[in-house]
Amino acid sequence: MKHKIVQKDYYHECGDGCCLDYGHEWYVDGELVHGSPCADSGWLAVLRHLGIEAELIGQNEKGEDIWEL
């Protein structure tokens, strides 16, 4: 089955300009599955929504793990 995955950016600023909120909303087949400023957590939410158990690991240029979700 082919799924439609959409990443939609959002950006909101207060009327007086004192606050700012931005990030991404992730949709799978039209259903919102995640929203946050972190694209990595969005991809993980999409995978989990599709029934794929996964972990994301970020590595530095030396191949050392520096973070994981």
Domain coordinates of the chain in residue numbers?
A: 5-68
How far apart are the C-alpha atoms of 32 and 23, rounded to whole Å? 14
- Give pLDDT, residue 16: 84
pTM: predicted TM-score of the whole model, two decimal places:
0.80
Can you spell out the DSSP letters for 14-69? -TTSS-EEEEEEEEETTEEEEEES-HHHHHHHHHHHTT-----EEE-TTS-EEEE-
Per-residue confidence (pLDDT) for residue 58, from 0 to 100 = 94
The reported pLDDT for the residue numbered 3 is: 97
17-52 pLDDT per residue, tens = 788 889 999 999 999 999 999 999 999 999 999 999
pLDDT value at position 17? Answer: 78
5 pLDDT band (50/70/90 cuts)? very high
